[in-house]
C-alpha cells in the first residue's frame, strides 16, 4: 500500500494518512475515499493527520492538488487537517493554492507540524477549544 489510511486513536477522533516513499494520484484518491468512509462512520468531529515524512512528491503536485481540492467538499464532521513533514516548497504550494482557489480551500485549511508528536498536540489543543 502506498498510502496507509487508518484510525490514529481508539476514540476514533483522528484519521491518519501515512504516505510511503512512492505513491500515485490514484493511491491518494483511494486513501481519501477510505478516510471519507471512516469519517462518515462516526458522528463526532474527526481530524486528519497527513504524514508525508519520507514521501516523494510527484512533479505534477500543483495540478494534482487543484484536482483534489475541486473534487468535493469536506464532510460535516471533518475537523482540522495537519500535515507532517511538508518542506518549504510544499508549504509554498499550499499557500499558492489557498490564494488562487479560495472557495475550494475554504473550510479545508491545513496546518503544518514538524513531527507526529506536534501534530497530535495541535489536534489536542484544537479539541479543547471545541
pLDDT digits (tens, 9 = 90+) for 77-116: 999 999 998 888 778 877 777 777 666 566 667 889 999 9
* Total of domains in the chain: 1
pLDDT in tens, 38-58: 999 999 999 999 999 988 887
**What are the residues whose beta carbons fall under 8 Å from the beta carbon of 95, sequence distance 6 or more?**
none
Helices (H) and strands (E) in the chain, counts: 5, 5
- Its domain, for residue 25, covers 3-128
The conformation of residue 53, written as its DSSP 8-state character, comes to: T
pTM above 0.95?
Answer: no
Per-residue pLDDT at 92: 80
Q: Grid coordinates standing for 20?
A: 510511503
The CATH number of residue 104's host domain is: 3.30.750
Amino acid at each position: 500500500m502506498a498510502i496507509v489510511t487508518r484510525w490514529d486513536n481508539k476514540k476514533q477522533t483522528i484519521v491518519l494518512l501515512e504516505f510511503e516513499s512512492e505513491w500515485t494520484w490514484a493511491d491518494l484518491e483511494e486513501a481519501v475515499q477510505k478516510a471519507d468512509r471512516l469519517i462518515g462512520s462516526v458522528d463526532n468531529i474527526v481530524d486528519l493527520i497527513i504524514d508525508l515524512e519520507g514521501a516523494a512528491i510527484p512533479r505534477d503536485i500543483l495540478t494534482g492538488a487543484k484536482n483534489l481540492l475541486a473534487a468535493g467538499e469536506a464532510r460535516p464532521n471533518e475537523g482540522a487537517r495537519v500535515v507532517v513533514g511538508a518542506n518549504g516548497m510544499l508549504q509554498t504550494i499550499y499557500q499558492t493554492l489557498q490564494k488562487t482557489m479560495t472557495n475550494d480551500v475554504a473550510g479545508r485549511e491545513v496546518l503544518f507540524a514538524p513531527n507526529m508528536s506536534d501534530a497530535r498536540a495541535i489536534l489536542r489543543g484544537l479539541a479543547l477549544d471545541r
